[in-house]
Structure 1
């Protein structure tokens, strides 16, 4: 299904320990999550990772903001993951694999930038770590962990125009009901941070 793609994973028990068994967008010291990737990250076949709840696939998840507006994306039916068609995301990101590097931490750093550049054309002004997305309410979320950042950018456009429709808003909450799970989690947390 994933053509022998090898993806970066970390042990679930370590994610839960760092998050103190809390779920949602959790503040974890950036040093601690980076250390986990560096010291316990490894690569496995994506096919097996998709169903193995003892490990979490590491996903950089980057929220893009231009001045006071957030950039959201509505997925079209031409986007690969059928489970997410027509849903809105506030983050760009995806799997880290061995094409990014054979060293877990270097792969994460390279993959984070690659994921942004694959989906959008932006100049990144700043990239700020927010926390760890630790959501366990679905079989899909139980095998992934998000590392969330907010990037202040100069937005130039979508790269995959057939896969996404772009939406700019100062209030992401207005699209809440159409959002996928992680986006809902992030929007709720961003609202709390801004209060």
Structure 2
């Protein structure tokens, strides 16, 4: 996505008023509705909000699971977020653009589905559930982003990457990934810990 793209944000004050946290937070309906309230959305130039902690960019973070196995990949050199390159990830997704607001009543959901279908091809059927949120203000990337985690349950491992940014992709049992947690970006570390508890 070009850096002059206008992306979906909410005021950081809105996030703090709903209930500040660090790490992963499962969210009840009231908390989810407070964060994913279209009345609080605005679209701002990505080049500005990447360095403005007054806003949180809402980023869908979609985790693909088939049985006990999770889809994971290494962030390749063609990815737009240079601060995360070479790290492994279990999350698929990206920024919600202003164009997604023209795709229906819910620009967040429209953008989440667009990102998923742009990044991977899923051959079988699937269902998704809302899992929670991720926040990590300790890093420059985390201070301006809020992860919205979805768990997609697959009927088959027939998934392939559509982008060079998703390198060395495949499925591995959760227990094996959790044992290699240091290879993963922070958001994935939070998700792996949460799924391991379940």
TM-score, length basis structure 2: 0.88
- Which residue pairs with 1:169 in the alignment? 172
Q: Distance in 1 between matches of 2:14 and 2:102?
A: 21
Whether 1:100 and 2:103 are equivalent positions in the alignment is no
The answer for the alignment partner of 2:117 in structure 1 is: 117
| Mapping 1:150-169, distance limit 5 Å | 150-153=151-154, 154=156, 155-161=158-164, 163-169=166-172
Which residue does the alignment assign to 2:31?
32
In terms of mean alpha carbon deviation, does 128-137 or 171-180 score higher?
171-180
Alignment gaps of 5+ in structure 2:
none
Distance in 2 (alpha carbons) for counterparts of 1:17 and 1:173: 33
Task: Give the structure 1 partner of residue 75 of structure 2.
Answer: 75
2:184 is the alignment partner of 1:185: no
* Pairs within 5 Å for 1:11-26: 11-18=11-18, 20-26=19-25
Would you say the 8 A contact 1:10–1:55 is kept in 2?
A: yes
1:126 corresponds to 2:127: yes
Runs of at least 4 residues off by over 4 Å: 102-105
Equivalent pairs, count = 192
CA distance in 2, matches of 1:17, 1:104: 28
Q: Whole-Å Cα distance in 2 between the matches of residues 160 and 101 of structure 1?
A: 24
Q: 1:17 to 1:189 in 2, by over 3 A?
A: farther
Alignment check: 8 A CA contact 1:42 1:104 kept: no
**Structure 2 CA distance for aligned equivalents of residues 165 and 76 of structure 1:** 9
Q: Is the 8 A contact 1:88 1:175 kept in 2?
A: no
Residue range with higher mean Cα deviation, 76-85 or 49-58: 76-85
How big is the alpha-carbon RMSD for the aligned residues of Structure 1 and Structure 2? 2.1
Shift in Å, 1:174 = 2.8
Q: Deviations over 1:103-152 (max 9, x none)?
A: 89621111111111111111452101111112111121010001101101
Distance in 2 between residues matched to 1:4 and 1:74, nearest whole Å: 26
Per the alignment, do residues 187 and 78 of structure 1 end up closer, same or farther by CA in structure 2, a change over 3 Å counting? same
Note the C-alpha offset of 1:33: 2.5
Structure 1 residue 51, shift from structure 2 partner: 1.0
- Contact persistence 1:30–1:129 (CA under 8 A): no
Q: Measure the CA separation in 2 of the matches of 1:106 and 1:163.
A: 27
Q: Distance in 2 between matches of 1:110 and 1:64?
A: 18
- Counterpart position of 2:6: 6
